[in-house]
Amino acid sequence: MTAADRTAEPAPLRGGLVRLRELLGRPLFSYHLLLGVSGLLVALGLMMVLSASSISALETRGSAFALFGRQLISMALGLCLMWVCSRLPVRFFRLAGYPMMVVAALGLVLVIFIGEAELGAQRWIYIGELTIQPSEPAKFALVLWGADLLARRVRGGAVEWRHLLLPLMPGTALLALLVMVGRDLGTTIVLMTIFLALLWVVGAPLKLFGGILAVVVLAAVVMISTEGYRADRIKGWLDPWSDAQDTGFQAVQGQIAMGSGGWFGLGLGSSRAKWNWLPHAESDFIFAIIGEELGLMGTLVVVALFGLLGYAGLRVATRVGDPFVRLASAAAVAWIAGQAIVNIGAVIGVLPITGIPLPLLSYGGSALLPTLATLGMLLSFAKLEPGAREALLARGPGPAARALSWLGLGGPRPGRRPGRTRR
């Protein structure tokens, strides 16, 4: 092979790489990627909740669309909240973390006294038909509050790691303790993931991580050993088929559902596991229904979408110079991606079942609303990337603003270029 042949051979590859670099270099790439992936996950989640909940909703509520209707309302509210958050300035998020931490702590205290316990965990407050799970907004509160605390330390130059732990560690410990009193191990793990992500981004030493992880493992061992149902879950995780009718029932049925889907699934709506075989098919084990109805290809698409969501969030964290934005974006990614990993790992059997939902896909408005608000925050941060503001101004007003301008309800009037004034 001649030198000319060797030079010409990778030309298509080089062209593809050049186009990819051009795409990644666009100012609003992170913004559009976040928006597109979030929309796909929300749409897929709504579709799968309808499929997974139809049988149980028909039996318990008299309508196959009962849970789907509630999820649809939650999604509509969540998308409005996401849109509002995408238009808020960074200063709002920095200030909002403090009252949100107070409200989250009060909500977790109320759960202890007036909450309802299900499956061993006390997480929910029932107000008529409304169900509130205060531990879900507590995750968003910790992201904002912790990011602002550390950003102030970094900006002030006091980056000594001992100073970084106060008051971040006591605040995190308070939330984790309240959640642990409610016997919710899964949410405790997510809160500690957010805490460790904040310390990692700010540059805390590795020995600190080792000490904190040791404390977390010790707390998890204590929680497992003091609650019989958690010990049964560990036994069911290690060998679910040894007691497939009791402690390993949910894990076994989830694996059967995943395995029966094959490469391309049984077809949308064709799940057999949702016919009262798989407990909590619409929430904790919705990934198993995705595997059964959409097959391995469907599950890989879900994993890829979460990977792209994490990449977009970390891209925002690395491209925006504001310390708060960097910390909050990384912590939000650790929360959403980490929770997805824990949920998926439990469904496929590589992690114990903790009872935490799959973000954006599982049924439940208490989890959906804070997650969509967090994604709206990331969209707001994405507008701060280099060149993003100029690209937005060059794009002009959106369809909604143009429609309002035609009706004379605001915005520049048709036929006049924005920014021009009469002399």
- Convert the pLDDT of each residue in 180-196 to its tens digit: 887 777 888 899 999 99
Query: 59 in helix, strand or coil?
Result: helix
- Whether 45 has a pLDDT exceeding 60, the answer reads yes
| 8 A C-beta contact, residue 266 and residue 51 | no
How far apart, in Å, are the Cα atoms of 402 and each of 392, 397, 399? 15, 6, 5
Whether the predicted pLDDT of 22 surpasses 70: no
Per-residue pLDDT at 416 exceeds 50 = no
Q: Which DSSP state fits 268?
A: T
The pLDDT of residue 257 is: 92
Phi (first) and psi of residue 419, to 5 degrees: 95, -15
Q: Which is more confidently placed, 220 or 270?
A: 270
Q: Compute φ and ψ for 125, nearest 5 degrees.
A: -115, 125
pLDDT at residue 420 in the model: 45
Residue 139, pLDDT above cutoff 90: yes
- Amino acid identity of 300? L
Provide the 8-state DSSP code for 357.
P
Window from 16-20, 34-38, 241-245, 259-263 with minimum mean pLDDT: 16-20
| Of 296, 300, 285, nearest in space to 261 by CA | 296
How far is Cα 361 from Cα 48, in angstroms, rounded to an integer?
A: 7
Three-state DSSP state, 116: strand
Q: Which amino acid does the sequence have at 271?
A: S
What local confidence, expressed as pLDDT, does residue 400 receive? 53
Q: Is the pLDDT of residue 165 over 90?
A: no
- Indicate whether 155 pLDDT > 70: no
Q: Is the pLDDT of residue 82 over 60?
A: yes
Alpha-carbon span 355 to 363, nearest angstrom: 12
